[in-house]
Amino acid sequence: MKICEIKDLLGAEVLCGEELLEHDVASACCSDMMSDVLAYVKDQGVLVTGLVNPQVIRTANMMDMVCIVFVRNKEPSEAMLDLARDFGLVVMRSSLRAFEACGRLYEGGLGGKAGDAHVE
């Protein structure tokens, strides 16, 4: 799925990384615990989260992700967006709750690769 389709499915506002909207992603994950993202995520390119702090951006960078979706209209700081730009990440913001956002993405064809993520 193209990142611009994620934007449309979630009615999201893109906060940085507009130039990467044509980029393709194969799967996503959702968590407010960066510890769990670091422990269980494998190749998910998209992180859906309600947590807003610079560690979210760094965690996404460590995991080679390409897109972060902040749900419930959470507003990242300008410093966080600068960090995201430096890492080449798309950051968007949606008014949806995490459950609804993930439901729409899943229904839209974006998988979670749940099987792979927990097997090592």
Partner 1 sequence: MSNNLNFHFNVDGENFSSAGEASVVVKKKLRQLGFPPDIIRRVSIAMYEGEINMVIHANGGDADVTVDDDYITIVLKDTGPGIPDVSLAMQEGYSTARESIRALGFGAGMGLPNMKKYTDSMEIDTTVGVGTTITMKIALNK
- Binding-site ranges for partner 1 (CB under 8 A): 32-36, 38-39, 51, 53-56, 58-59, 61-64, 87, 120
Residue with smaller CB distance to partner 1, 35 or 73: 35
42, 24 in Cβ contact below 8 A? no
Residue with smaller CB distance to partner 1, 58 or 104: 58
State how far the Cα of 55 lies from the Cα of 42, in Å rounded to an integer.
18
**Closest approach of Cβ 58 to partner 1, in Å?**
4
**Closest approach of Cβ 107 to partner 1, in Å?**
27
**Closest approach of Cβ 34 to partner 1, in Å?**
4
State how far the Cα of 38 lies from the Cα of 44, in Å rounded to an integer.
11
SS3 43: coil
The kind and range of the H/E element at 30 are: strand 28-30
